Amino acid sequence: MNTRVLTGITTSGTPHLGNYVGAIRPAIQASLEKNVDAFFFLADYHALIKCEDADRIARSRLEIAATWLASGLDPARVTFYRQSDVPEIPELCWMLTCVTAKGLMNRAHAYKASVDQNIAKSVEPDDGINMGLFSYPILMAADILMFNAHKVPVGRDQTQHLEMARDIAQRFNHLYGQGKDFFVLPEAVIAEDVATLPGLDGRKMSKSYNNTVPLFEGGSRALKSTVAKIVTDSRGPGEPKDAEASHLYLIYKAFASSAETAEFRQALAAGMGWGDAKQKLCERIEQELGPKRDDYESLMANPNRIEEILQEGARKARAIATPFIQELRQAVGLRTLITETKSSAAKQAKSGGKGARFVSFRDDAGQFRFRFIGMDGAEIFSSIAYADPKMAGAAMRALQGGDFEAMLTLSGELDFSLTLEGSIVASGVTSVSSAQRAERIEALRAALSPTE
């Protein structure tokens, strides 16, 4: 199995240079590696926790999707979807919520930080804190565990959330697994070699410090005018400057090759003025981002295209999530009543009962066929056509007396067929989910295997 790499991007802001260098660019690079299945999603349910401005959320989902696509994400290679298009995620979130100790959430850094701020302000400890913030780590665990991700690239501030996801997964496995592990225990991947960009004021570039350089929005003009605001020291042109101590240099370094970086450093030491340095920085950033910005703009002008890509991503994601959540529902006891009737149908068929049964018939062309009908009256499979009714009868008996496992062939997620002496004699009705197919096969196995 390939390594599954998964990461989410909260859709509450407009991407800036720090996001690009720290998350987007390395994640896209990782998605190109061999033996990796990448899952990147827009964490729009998470966005609701901290942003009540509906238009902002809507705009941010669009901008972030366009940004990732323009930055080189290949939706044919990566499963790229919106969290809110996969209803299995909030369903899993609830199952996990019910096995998570409240005490564990009390210890979450993000929640504790808000409480500490309230205490410092001498207001109620939980003032202004919603339940979304409190159980944020459980939703994040559901994001990760839904797809059994092995590796989760995140910022250092998210390590505790990954530990919590592992705790929660273990607890669920222990309570419901009966020796089987439903969930892989995910690992955080904190990139050591990826730069944390300084913002305009030298602190980490972050929306919350309001010190960001926009990535694509506003075009090259916005880039220039923001770079102009990067704080520098007061040394004038001609005076030697210490590159390492300058934010400008650190940003340059994140875009340039090591040779270019060395040259930039020397130019500063030799007295390059800050104005010139800023101009060089803009040119270097433009070289990488200019063509991508063109793609960004054409995507932003065509949101229908983005919607299609995301819908296709949701379809791919749900092809995994739907059967998995069925399995989990079974595990916790949310079982369909039909499943139980079907297996008793199988037992009845075994003991010669009337429930599940073979039915022979002549088709429109006058050929002889048979089908197998489940307890609920629905067809489970039908045979090929035989010219001779005796041949049809013989095939029917051979299926009943044969080695079921040897006769069964699964195809894709939803189909199956039964084979005798190397040729297909019957094809299953296509199921709506792999869980439904599993139920049908279970019923057949019981009905067709010889009675002990």
Question: What track of x and - describes contact with ligand TRP for positions 3 through 42 (by CB under 6 A)?
Answer: ---xxx-x--------------------------------
Residue 222 carries which side chain, given as an amino acid letter?
A: A
Residue with Cβ nearer ligand TRP (78 or 154)? 154
158: contact with ligand TRP by CB under 6 A: yes
Pick the stretch among 24-32, 93-101, 151-159, 330-338 that binds ligand TRP (CB under 6 A).
Answer: 151-159
Number of residues counted as binding ligand TRP (CB under 6 A)? 12
Q: How far is the CB of 149 from ligand TRP (least distance, A)?
A: 7
Evaluate whether 283 touches 256 at the Cβ level (below 8 Å): no
15: helix, strand or coil: coil
| DSSP H or E segment with residue 332 | helix 303-332
Q: How far is the CB of 10 from ligand TRP (least distance, A)?
A: 5
Q: Hey, which residues between 285 and 314 contact ligand TRP (CB under 6 A)?
A: none
Residue 295 — φ and ψ, nearest 5°? -65, -40
CA 335 → CA 186, 325, 330, 435, distances in Å? Answer: 28, 11, 5, 11
Residue with Cβ nearer ligand TRP (75 or 153)? 153
Residue with Cβ nearer ligand TRP (164 or 444)? 164
Residue 129 — φ and ψ, nearest 5°? -95, 120
Residue with tokens 């400890």: 125
Q: How far is the CB of 112 from ligand TRP (least distance, A)?
A: 16
Q: At what angle do helices 136-146 and 88-97 cross, to 10 degrees?
A: 120
Q: How far is the CB of 59 from ligand TRP (least distance, A)?
A: 18
Residue with Cβ nearer ligand TRP (42 or 243)? 42
Q: Hey, which residues between 42 and 71 contact ligand TRP (CB under 6 A)?
A: 43, 46
Alpha-carbon torsion (36, 37, 39, 40), positive or negative:
positive
Evaluate whether 99 touches 172 at the Cβ level (below 8 Å): yes
Q: How far is the CB of 8 from ligand TRP (least distance, A)?
A: 3
Q: How far is the CB of 187 from ligand TRP (least distance, A)?
A: 12
Residue with Cβ nearer ligand TRP (7 or 383)? 7
Pick the stretch among 2-10, 29-37, 92-100, 371-379 that binds ligand TRP (CB under 6 A).
Answer: 2-10
Give CA–CA dist 379/402, Å, rounded: 21
Q: Hey, which residues between 213 and 272 contact ligand TRP (CB under 6 A)?
A: none
Residue with Cβ nearer ligand TRP (6 or 429)? 6
Residue with Cβ nearer ligand TRP (67 or 383)? 67
Buried-state track 299-336, b at ≥16 Cβ within 10 A, e below 16: bbeeeeebeebbeebbebbbebbbbbbbebbbbeeeee
CA 156 → CA 152, 162, 332, distances in Å? Answer: 11, 10, 34
Q: How far is the CB of 128 from ligand TRP (least distance, A)?
A: 19
Q: How far is the CB of 142 from ligand TRP (least distance, A)?
A: 9
Residue 141 — φ and ψ, nearest 5°? -60, -40
Binder of ligand TRP out of 152, 168, 345, 446 (CB under 6 A): 152
Buried-state track 114-147, b at ≥16 Cβ within 10 A, e below 16: beeebeeeeeeeeeebeeebbbbbbbbbbbbbbb
Q: How far is the CB of 188 from ligand TRP (least distance, A)?
A: 9
Which residue number places its CB atom closest to ligand TRP? 8
Q: Hey, which residues between 126 and 145 contact ligand TRP (CB under 6 A)?
A: 140, 143-144
Evaluate whether 316 touches 327 at the Cβ level (below 8 Å): no
Pick the stretch among 1-9, 49-57, 203-211, 220-228 that binds ligand TRP (CB under 6 A).
Answer: 1-9
Binder of ligand TRP out of 64, 108, 145, 154 (CB under 6 A): 154
Evaluate whether 358 touches 370 at the Cβ level (below 8 Å): yes
Give CA–CA dist 250/265, Å, rounded: 10
Q: How far is the CB of 157 from ligand TRP (least distance, A)?
A: 8
Q: How far is the CB of 116 from ligand TRP (least distance, A)?
A: 19
Residue with Cβ nearer ligand TRP (144 or 314)? 144
Give CA–CA dist 443/425, Å, rounded: 19
Q: How far is the CB of 186 from ligand TRP (least distance, A)?
A: 8
Pick the stretch among 150-158, 192-200, 254-262, 385-393 that binds ligand TRP (CB under 6 A).
Answer: 150-158
Residue by residue, DSSP assigns 206-253 as -GGGT---BSSTTHHHHHHHHHTTS---S--TTS---GGG-HHHHHHH
Where does this chain bind ligand TRP (CB under 6 A)?
6-8, 10, 43, 46, 140, 143-144, 152, 154, 158
